[in-house]
Amino acid sequence: MSLKFKDQPSSSTASPTEWNAIWKLEIPEKVKVFMWRAAQDLLPTAGNLWKRKALHDPWCPRCGKKGENVFHALIKCKFSQKVWNQTKFKEDLEGMENQDMFTAMKAIAEKRNTRDVALFVSLCWAIWHSRNLFIFERRKEDPRLPVARAEATMEVYRKVKVPQMQAESRQKSNNEQTWKPPPEGYVKVNTDAAIYMEEQKVGLGIIIRDSKGDFVAAAMKTSKFIDNIAYAEAEAIHLGMNVAEAVASGPVIVESDCSEVVNQILGRTGSNLELLWIISDIQKQMQRVKDIKMLFTPRICNGAAHDLAKMALKVNDYVQWVGTCLPHLLYLFS
Ligand SMILES: [Zn+2]
């Protein structure tokens, strides 16, 4: 496997419960995943790329200061400061020293309500977006734009997603179209693959959550696309089960939105030739777990895994995890 691990994230002291603070914010999944990466020092800043020898120097591409780390890019850079100066967070951030983004978010949460924390996170996301526009498209944005973008993102989420979620929870008893946590004692592994045809690449994403819906672990990686979408979906299940074996000791439910692969794994239909090896490998993995269920789930209930799979395509080679899972994962992929 061609997986690389980053250095130990500077914020690994945060407990899984603390990490859930990010996952429970009322903002789009992509913004949550962004913050999670930022907090684990997994953003491709100049400093991080330099450490991985992917860049010659670690200087900030925007202001030229030495060492662009996540905190600099999102908070202290000259451009970021111009953005923050227009917001209510100006004073909160003034005295803040270089630190990991989880600690920064916690400091905001101590002074302000959850909605403000969500806005803070959205602003970080919008600043990062603006930074990337500058680097990759040489577009200089007015600092008011990220503020507007963050506010609009929250507004859309509040107007569209929150009523949708409320309606979904009202209909839960007769409507299956939503992700559901596993029963008490179980963990649920959602897996998905995303294809990038032009580069013949697939992104694999998996996320593991417990019966409270709390986040347990997640991973993503890229793989070669071998002209078979079902194969990529099987690879995602394989990855999900590897991670589940490492982080969970109890019963497991695995969900994939590819019924073709699920049926082959369960022996409901014969495996096609290309998938034969990987399907039998997954079946062996299943035998090692005492209590395991393999289920098909509609795409609409598999959103988090789908987002991770799509992101894997951009991140290449990165595997992500949550604090305490790290040693197991290192063992698993070494
Ligand atoms: Zn800078």
Summarize pLDDT for 223-263 with one digit per residue, the tens. 988 778 899 999 999 999 999 998 888 999 999 999 999 99
Q: How confident is the model at residue 120 (pLDDT cuts 50, 70, 90)?
A: very high
Question: How many angstroms does the Cα of residue 75 sit away from the middle of ligand 1?
Answer: 9
Could you tell me where the DSSP H helices lie in the chain?
16-23, 29-39, 46-51, 70-71, 78-84, 90-94, 101-111, 114-137, 144-156, 162-170, 229-247, 259-265, 276-288, 303-315, 326-333
Question: How many angstroms does the Cα of residue 106 sit away from the middle of ligand 1?
Answer: 23
Question: How many angstroms does the Cα of residue 118 sit away from the middle of ligand 1?
Answer: 24
DSSP 11: T
Question: How many angstroms does the Cα of residue 96 sit away from the middle of ligand 1?
Answer: 16
Q: Flag whether pLDDT at 56 surpasses 90.
A: no
Question: How many angstroms does the Cα of residue 134 sit away from the middle of ligand 1?
Answer: 12
Question: How many angstroms does the Cα of residue 221 sit away from the middle of ligand 1?
Answer: 29
Q: Flag whether pLDDT at 2 surpasses 50.
A: no
Question: How many angstroms does the Cα of residue 101 sit away from the middle of ligand 1?
Answer: 16
Chain centroid to Cα 19, Å, comes to: 12
Question: How many angstroms does the Cα of residue 14 sit away from the middle of ligand 1?
Answer: 27
Mean pLDDT over the full length of the chain? 84
As its CATH architecture, domain 187-333 has: 2-Layer Sandwich (3.30)
Return the ∠ at Cα 221 (arms to 299 and 47), rounded to 5°: 125
Question: How many angstroms does the Cα of residue 63 sit away from the middle of ligand 1?
Answer: 4
Average of per-residue pLDDT across 58-85: 92
Within the chain, all domains assigned CATH 3.30.420.10 are found at 187-333
Question: How many angstroms does the Cα of residue 37 sit away from the middle of ligand 1?
Answer: 19
% of residues, the chain, pLDDT over 70: 87
Q: What is the pLDDT of residue 217?
A: 87
Question: How many angstroms does the Cα of residue 60 sit away from the middle of ligand 1?
Answer: 5
Q: Flag whether pLDDT at 291 surpasses 70.
A: yes
Question: How many angstroms does the Cα of residue 78 sit away from the middle of ligand 1?
Answer: 6
Question: How many angstroms does the Cα of residue 274 sit away from the middle of ligand 1?
Answer: 49
Question: How many angstroms does the Cα of residue 81 sit away from the middle of ligand 1?
Answer: 10
Question: How many angstroms does the Cα of residue 232 sit away from the middle of ligand 1?
Answer: 39
Q: What is the pLDDT of residue 101?
A: 92
Question: How many angstroms does the Cα of residue 7 sit away from the middle of ligand 1?
Answer: 23
Longest dimension (CA), the chain: 63
Average of per-residue pLDDT across 87-100: 92
Question: How many angstroms does the Cα of residue 76 sit away from the middle of ligand 1?
Answer: 7
Instruction: Kindly list the distances between the CA atom of residue 56 and the CA atoms of 108, 121, 138, 223, in Å, as whole numbers in the listed order.
Output: 35, 30, 20, 27
Question: How many angstroms does the Cα of residue 117 sit away from the middle of ligand 1?
Answer: 23
Question: How many angstroms does the Cα of residue 48 sit away from the middle of ligand 1?
Answer: 14
Average of per-residue pLDDT across 284-309: 90
Q: Flag whether pLDDT at 300 surpasses 70.
A: yes
Place of tokens 């799979």: 309
Question: How many angstroms does the Cα of residue 136 sit away from the middle of ligand 1?
Answer: 15
Residue 26 vs residue 159, higher pLDDT: 26
Question: How many angstroms does the Cα of residue 308 sit away from the middle of ligand 1?
Answer: 28
Q: How confident is the model at residue 5 (pLDDT cuts 50, 70, 90)?
A: very low
User: Of the ranges 89-98, 109-118, 236-245, 319-328, which one carries the lowest mean pLDDT score?
Assistant: 319-328
Q: How far apart are CA 106 and CA 104, in angstroms?
A: 5
Question: How many angstroms does the Cα of residue 30 sit away from the middle of ligand 1?
Answer: 24
Q: Which stretch, 54-58, 189-193, 218-222, has highest mean pLDDT?
A: 189-193
pTM higher than 0.75: no
Q: How confident is the model at residue 23 (pLDDT cuts 50, 70, 90)?
A: confident
Provide the pairing of β-strand 201-210 with 187-196. Answer: antiparallel
% of residues, the chain, pLDDT over 90: 44
Give the pLDDT confidence of 176-210 residue by residue, as tens digits: 578 899 999 999 999 999 988 778 889 999 999 89
Q: How far apart are CA 115 and CA 158, in angstroms?
A: 11
